Amino acid sequence: MRVGVFTPLLSQLPLPEVLKKLKAHGISTVELGTGNYPGDAHCKLSMLEDSTTLSTFKKTLADQGFSISALSCHGNPLHPDRDRAKRDQETSRKTILLAEKLGVPVVVDFSGCPGDSPAAQRPNWVTCPWPPEYLETLKWQWDEVVAPYWTQHAKGGYMTKADAMTFKGPDGTNPDMQKLDTDNDGRISEQEWRKYTDAGSMGKSGTSGSTTK
């Protein structure tokens, strides 16, 4: 067994000092934050565009005998504040790309928590099945925000038209692809999906259709 440390706990120290401190305790594995809630004190996403800094970073770890167990970027990609959500989504996407360059097999993220309707300003975490409107909110969150976003994210930020057609409105109808695929590129972006559902095209706020199995 190897013991590792989540280094945002030591964000006040530069990476070389962190490694030196941990090595003194027999620790040789780290989980590094790349942004969002963990911050990026020890691992910058700008290394994606800076091969020299990336090489220096790798050498710093290798010289001290350290391996990276995971990169962490947990934020809220489903935040009802669109600017906040977009920022966290982009950090997640870039973290995955950096993990690939570093040969790190694990990226830690949060699934995210939406609001309770397209008009929400803050996340709303439904933790109780009663009163019944809580379950209606949960259904809307899952079917119109969570599942579509992660379907897109797993495929590089887009859904295919076939993916989009697995979602149905409360009347059992599929999305109107002419209204959904606004740029007519054959792919459905997260922004296109959110704009479509916010307009009520998949049903009124607080209601949702079901995902076909």
pLDDT in tens, 139-164: 999 998 999 999 888 877 677 777 77
What are the residue ranges of CATH 3.20.20.150 in the chain?
4-108
69 has a pLDDT exceeding 90: yes
Which pLDDT score, from 0 to 100, does residue 87 have?
A: 96
Which pLDDT score, from 0 to 100, does residue 101 have?
A: 96
Share of the chain above pLDDT 90, in %: 68
102 has a pLDDT exceeding 90: yes
| Sequence letter at residue 68 | I
For residue 5, list its beta bridge partners: 30
- Tell me how many degrees the CA angle 67-68-74 measures, rounded to the nearest 5: 170
Q: What is the DSSP letter of 211?
A: B
Q: Rounded CA gap, 132 and 135, in Å?
A: 5
Q: Rounded CA gap, 30 and 67, in Å?
A: 7
- Tell me how many degrees the CA angle 83-85-89 measures, rounded to the nearest 5: 120
- Superfamily designation of domain 4-108: Divalent-metal-dependent TIM barrel enzymes (3.20.20.150)
pLDDT digits (tens, 9 = 90+) for 169-181: 656 677 888 888 8
